[in-house]
A and B are shown apart, each in its own frame.
Chain A
Amino acid sequence: MPSTPIVRIRELTRVFRQGEINVTALDRISLDIAEGEFLTLMGPSGSGKSTLLHIIAGIDRPTSGDCIVQEHNIAALDESALADWRNQNVGFVFQTFNLIPVLTAYENVELPLLLTRLGARERRRLVSAALEMVGLADRAKHLPKQLSGGQEQRVAIARALVTDPKLVVADEPTGNLDSHSAADVLEILRTLSREAGKTVIMVTHDPKAAAYGSRSIHLEKGELVGA
């Protein structure tokens, strides 16, 4: 396993306030994730695995503790800086694909690049390469509704990769797919980790999906189990 930590988590706590009740989603978690690692987060519903993923990806903030990703304490970044950081360093893959329905596969993949200063030609090169990588170059002009679930998820992966982020976070990426499509998607994520050196963090309920990872950790009631 590669040894350089890209993510360092120390005493991380996340408490949600629901009415008068405080719910502790993460309770003083400490964890290192190495660069190039394919880490799977497992656990029952409500165990805090998605919350942990969201904090690492910079779309949620911890109540206390540190989350250092690529030497950035992301909890300390303001909203605008955090948005820039996400654009440059994190690729997102969600269970429900979340493609923009009025945009073609090509345009969906191009979307994160609109925030960069890249010219049209360079954007075209990167989008084509990303679609090529997920095997959907021939579906570039298709709208999401014209694609199968597996193809949609592969477009979402291409969108996550197009900015060449170090970190790819995937929240139940195979939850809405048949077994064949799920295997395709998991294979792509594993390839990203093994061959492209991306750090992939995936939340899953499925032990078969978790088997694609290089390491698996379990959460229960906001705590790491057997780490």
Chain B
Amino acid sequence: MTVSGFIIKNAFRNKRRAALCVLSVAVSLFLLVSLLVVLNEFTNPPEDVGASLRIAVRSKVSLATPLPLRQRAQILKVPGVEALTALTFFGGLYRGEENTYFAQFGMEPEQLEKVFGEARMPREQLEAWIANRTSCIVGADTAKRYDVKLGDKFPLVGQIYPVDLDLTVAGIYKGTTDDRNVFFHQKYLDELLGDPGTVGMWWVKARSAEDVPAVIDGINAAFANTSAEVLAETERAFQMSFISMWANIKVLISSICTVVVFALVLVSASTMSMAIRERLRELSILKAIGFRRHELFAFILAESFGLSAVGFLLGAGGAWLLYGSIDAATLTAGLFPSLEVTPRILGTAALVAAVLGIVSSLAPALAVARLSVVEGLKTLD
């Protein structure tokens, strides 16, 4: 027999209680990991490789305020600008379905490769899209979800704009962090709207990362004190401005995480206390035959730690396996394109499990350390 064998036998001597304890830890850690994954998706959206060079330019008044088309030429003159495209959020419903889960944007097709280079599709599809004013390209996730093929009609019913788009699928792209979006010709929208001379936003590609600050400053300065002042910011900053709207959700999720961990500590500490209390006389015998306080403390700690570790493997490991294998976009109705259990989240869960193992063993270990052999022996009669 080894000391570790002795500890394992003790930990699972009451199999039902050990199983329930492990399950409670596992379920709680699964919940914690799930919440952290959701929180992570809210606060750290995935970025494309080209995101560091992209700059979003919107109206300083609000995101819904359009920008004049004439700004295009001025932005191109700003030193460090390599390319730009208009990008107008259409916000329509596919075939009029209320649960349309993807976004649609009008843009300049010729600029796709320059500004959103990570969107990959066969060359002939790109050329077909550029050539056909009423065509669109569809993200691979959306194409799969709606079983869309090249040449299919792709009708969008306008909700923000008083027009409907009668599009034809010219290409299916993939390679972006969100392969759900649909892009069509900005010109087609302009035509239907009677050429209003405006776009929703500008998306600019800088020549290099070093150019990005100067480009942002240059664009903001170019339209300062005009009737259409703009707010230029990095793609990351633009995304974060959306996320700031989720502030209360973040607080809520963080609060739930805290409650989960606290409840977990109480449950585990209670279980360990019960397990140790019913073994007080045995622990007293161990003391009598020569085991010292720190050795008994180590036994209890190892037992508690072991149960937490098994719970961690089941809960956090289970979450890792589950979220790695499911189609998050479908499961969350498009709210999250992916649900990734990052190493950082796994590390947090492991830390919680470790702290749990230590904290829940502290009270019973201290009780055993304080207990004299004679007092312990009295508990048996």
Contacts and interface: CB of A to CB of B under 8 A. Distances in A.
A38 interface: no
B289 A86 contact: yes
Given A103-B9, A112-B290, A114-B3, A98 B380 contact: yes
B1 interface: yes
B291 interface: yes
A80 B296 CA distance: 12
Contact of B372 (A60, A88, A95): A60
Query: In the complex, which range does the number of interface residues on chain B fall in?
Result: 20 to 34
B281 interface: yes
Interface in A115-148: 115
Most A C-beta atoms less than 10 A away, residue of B10, B288, B291, B380:
B288
Interface secondary structure of B, over-half rule: helix
Most A C-beta atoms less than 10 A away, residue of B13, B282, B286, B377:
B377
A110 B1 CA distance: 8
Given A54-B374, A59-B373, A114-B6, A79 B1 contact: no
A88 B289 CA distance: 9
Interface string A173-192: 00000000000000000000
B228 interface: no
Nearest to A92: B288
A96 B282 CA distance: 11
A94 B6 CA distance: 22
B292 interface: yes
B180 interface: no
Nearest to B5: A107
A159 B289 contact: yes
B285 interface: yes
Interface in B281-310: 281-282, 285-293, 295
Given A96-B380, A107-B1, A59 B374 contact: yes
Contacts of A54: 373-374
Given A59-B374, A98-B282, A103-B9, A83 B291 contact: yes
Given A102-B13, A107-B1, A59 B288 contact: yes
Contact of B282 (A84, A100, A106, A159): A100
A83 B290 contact: yes
B97 interface: no
A195 B115 CA distance: 96
A111 interface: yes
A87 B380 contact: no
A79 B373 CA distance: 11
A41 B380 CA distance: 21
Contacts of B286: 111
Interface string B1-43: 1110010011001000000000000000000000000000000
Contacts of A100: 282, 285
A46 interface: no
A44 interface: no
B290 A60 contact: no
B147 interface: no
A41 B67 CA distance: 102
B381 interface: yes
Contacts of A80: 292-293
Contacts of B292: 79-80, 83-84
B285 A92 contact: yes
Interface string B362-381: 00000000001110010011
Contacts of A96: 380-381
Contacts of B372: 59-60
A10 B6 CA distance: 41
Nearest to B381: A96
Contacts of A60: 372-374
Most A C-beta atoms less than 10 A away, residue of B10, B13, B289, B380:
B289
8 contacts: A79-B292, A80-B292, A80-B293, A84-B290, A92-B285, A92-B289, A115-B290, A115-B291
Question: When A and B form their complex, which 6 residue pairs have the shortest distance between CB atoms, in order from nearest?
Answer: A87-B290, A59-B373, A102-B13, A83-B292, A102-B9, A107-B1
Interface of A: 54, 57, 59-60, 79-80, 83-84, 86-88, 92, 94-96, 98, 100-103, 106-107, 110-112, 114-115, 159
Interface of B: 1-3, 6, 9-10, 13, 281-282, 285-293, 295, 372-374, 377, 380-381
